[in-house]
Amino acid sequence: MKLPIMFAIVPSLLLTVTAIADDRPNVIVFYTDDHGHADLSCQGVVGDVQTPNVDALAKSGVLARHGYSTAPQCIPSRAGLLVGKFQSKFGAEANGYSLKGFDEELTIAERLQAAGYVTAQFGKWHLGPGIRITDHGFKHVYAQNSGGPFAANIKLDGQDRPMGTMQTRLYHIDGCSQAAVSIIDRYKDDPFFLYVAYRAPHVPLDARKKYLDRFPDAMPERRRQALAMLSAVDDGVGRIVSTLAKHNLTQKTLIFYIGDNGAPLKIHKRDAPGGGPGWDGSLNDPLNGEKGMLSEGGMHVPFVVSWPGTIPAGQIYDHPISALDVAATAASLAKIDVEPGEPGKLDELDGVNLIPFLTGQDNSAPHDALMWRWIAQSAIREGDWKLLRGGDREYLYNLESDIEEKHSLMATHPDIADRLREKLKTWSETLDPPGLTTGPMAKTWHDYYDFYMEGKPLTPSNDKTTAGNNAKQKQKRRRAIRAKAAAND
Which helix or strand (DSSP H or E) is residue 39 part of? none
Q: What is the pTM of this model?
A: 0.90
- Domains of the chain, each with CATH number or no CATH: 2-358 (3.40.720.10), 370-452 (3.30.1120.10)
Asked if residues 315 and 305 have their Cβ atoms less than 8 Å apart, the reply is no
Cα separation, 153 vs 376, whole angstroms: 39
Asked if residues 159 and 126 have their Cβ atoms less than 8 Å apart, the reply is no
pLDDT tens readout for residues 367-413: 999 999 999 999 999 999 999 999 999 999 999 999 999 999 999 99
**In this prediction, what percent of the chain has a pLDDT beyond 70?**
87
Which helix or strand (DSSP H or E) is residue 371 part of? strand 370-374
Instruction: Tell me the Ramachandran region of residue 405: left when phi exceeds 0, alpha when psi lies from -120 to 50, beta otherwise.
Output: left
Cα separation, 391 vs 405, whole angstroms: 17
How far is C-alpha 292 from the geometric centre of its chain's CA atoms? 13
With cut-offs at 50, 70 and 90, classify the pLDDT of residue 339: low
The residue that leads in pLDDT, 248 or 475, is 248
pLDDT tens readout for residues 415-432: 999 999 999 999 999 999
Asked if residues 205 and 185 have their Cβ atoms less than 8 Å apart, the reply is no
pLDDT tens readout for residues 18-31: 444 468 999 999 99
What pairs with residue 374 in β-bridges?
Answer: 377
Cα separation, 244 vs 249, whole angstroms: 5
Q: Which amino acid is at 261?
A: N
